[in-house]
Amino acid sequence: MSELRGVLKNAFQSCGGITSEVPAENTTKICNVCGVVEVFDAAALVMHTCSACGSLWDQDSNAGHVLLARRERLRAEEEAEGVRAANAAKSEGRWERARRRSTERKGRMTTARELESKSS
């Protein structure tokens, strides 16, 4: 299985695709409709009816839905983290702000002196 996963990952990435790893625990036992973890004999039953919401699902199809939902949640978290990192990079530290203000003040003083010398 690990070789198959590696081959598929390389094939997708070589074509410009994006791959992501998502935790697979309980994917066949979590109801993709309501999120309840169902306890049942997964080896004996392929189809299962959720005891909480009553939806009927196939284990494999359900696992696919759960994995996709997890991937989307991880992407949203990564995007939010990226925004936070970008905002942190944009924020100016105390010393950078002091240097910028000093430079701006010097520029204003120079401009004021030049205007004063031109008017006299």
Give residue-wise pLDDT tens across range 89-112.
677 788 888 999 999 999 999 888
Q: Is residue 83 predicted with pLDDT exceeding 90?
A: no
First to last CA, the chain: 85
The structure's pTM equals 0.60
**In this structure, are residues 37 and 26 in contact, taking their beta carbons and an 8 Å threshold?**
yes
